[in-house]
Amino acid sequence: MKWTYSVKNKLMASAALLSLCLLVLASHFIDRNHTENVKTAIGTLYEDRLVAEVYILKMTSLFYQVKETLRVDSDETTKGLQVHALLLKIRNLSDSYQETKFTEAEKRKADELLITLDEFEASPFASNQTKLSASNEAIAILEALSVIQLEESKQIMAHAETLYQRGKTSSQFVFAVIIVILIVLQALVFASKSIIPVVKPNHAQMN
């Protein structure tokens, strides 16, 4: 019976060790997977949000410069040339901005911006007041796009935080299971020691 009990202990110990190895491998895989997901989320934040926000801020600044140019007391020819140069810069930035990834809300606002910019460029001889109104409209659209960028960035960071917490929880669970397995192994070791027969010396033979 002791021999049978010893074999059972060895089998249980082997199973526990195998489970321990599998858990360590699983923990490594889970940690790596969550790390990659967090990196992807942060990469998306940089590539799709921060870069787009830079384009939005630059276009907003240029439209403010258009407004200042229109308000300056100078000849209309000079104003027209300066505004045209600013619109070329805005167009280049807009083209780059259009290559970023859009949500549905962003796509609608970006289309509105394109329409406003097209109308502005198509009316070089419009009155200064008309151009000022178009500039204000474009700035309002860009501000709305900036708000959308901020909300999307918050969602991405919240998603990254969720992924991090999931990874942390999974690691803690695996660690707890590993502790349990180690306790079981320790118990098996003590149980194995308790069934080892104690050989008593034969004093009769010694005499």
Domain ranges of the chain: 2-195
Please list the alpha-helical segments (H only) found in the chain. Answer: 2-44, 51-71, 76-98, 104-121, 128-194, 203-206
Task: Answer yes or no: are the C-beta atoms of 90 and 116 closer than 8 Å.
Answer: no
pLDDT digits (tens, 9 = 90+) for 89-127: 999 999 999 988 888 888 999 999 999 999 998 888 888
What six digits make up the tokens of 113?
């911006």
**First-to-last C-alpha distance (Å) of the chain:** 34
> In the numeric block, which tokens belong to residue 56?
């939005």
Any residues with CB less than 8 A from the CB of 111 and at least 6 apart, and which?
A: none
pLDDT at 12: 67
pLDDT-based confidence at residue 180 (cuts at 50, 70, 90)? confident
Provide the pLDDT for residue 84.
92
**Cα atoms found within 13 Å of the Cα of residue 129, Cβ hemisphere only:** 0
The DSSP call for residue 127 is -
**H helix or E strand, kind and range, residue 206:** helix 203-206
Q: Which two tokens stand for residue 176?
A: 């707890």
- Residue 149 to residue 132: CA distance in whole angstroms: 26
pTM: 0.62
User: Would you state the structure tokens that stand for residue 4, as one six-digit string?
Assistant: 């049978």
Cα-Cα-Cα-Cα dihedral sign, residues 59, 85, 138, 44: negative
Query: What does the block give as tokens for 75?
Result: 């000849």
Tokens 């992924």 locate to 163
8 pLDDT band, cuts 50/70/90, is low
Contact 149, 56 (CB under 8 A): yes
In the prediction, which pLDDT does 3 show?
42
pLDDT band at 190 (very low <50, low <70, confident <90, very high): low
pLDDT band for position 1 (cuts 50, 70, 90) = very low
Query: What pLDDT digit, counting tens, does each position of 144-158 carry?
Result: 999 988 887 777 777
The CATH architecture one would assign to domain 2-195 is Up-down Bundle (1.20)
User: Tokens at residue 144, please?
Assistant: 């709305």
